[in-house]
Amino acid sequence: MTVKETFYQLAQKMNEDSLGIKGVNTAYQFDLSGDEEGVFQVIIRDEQVHVYEEVKEDPNCTLQLSDKSLLKLIAGNLNPTIAYMSGKLKVKGELGLALKLQSILKKYE
């Protein structure tokens, strides 16, 4: 599955069951390297998730990683703390939001 398909599938799961994103109002940006290099934004507002393949607004938290690492992260096969410590994942902005993203993703694995 491609990064784009994965993001849209994840957003659909979140929109169908918004309990895991209740109270979250933030913009995540993913700066990807690798075969699917590019920028994605996932904006969570009012218990709805929107995915964009461009910069729509200033992100609260930007994650820089490879496309393969992102797919592993979403699938729960990559520990974000270890990825961060080993340099596979870089975070700009609010580090607490990156940790929040980890707990959100666990709810939708």
What pLDDT was estimated at residue 109?
84
**41/51 Cα distance (integer angstroms):** 6
Which residues neighbour 47 within 8 Å (Cβ) at sequence distance 6 or greater?
A: 18, 21, 22
Q: Give the chain's length.
A: 109
- Given a contact cutoff of 8 angstroms between Cβ atoms, the answer to whether 21 and 108 are in contact is no
3-state secondary structure of 95: helix
Class of domain 3-107: alpha beta
Write the DSSP symbol of residue 76. T
- Given a contact cutoff of 8 angstroms between Cβ atoms, the answer to whether 93 and 87 are in contact is no
**28/61 Cα distance (integer angstroms):** 5
**101/105 Cα distance (integer angstroms):** 6
Regions of the chain where pLDDT drops below 50: none
What pLDDT was estimated at residue 81?
87
What pLDDT was estimated at residue 61?
97
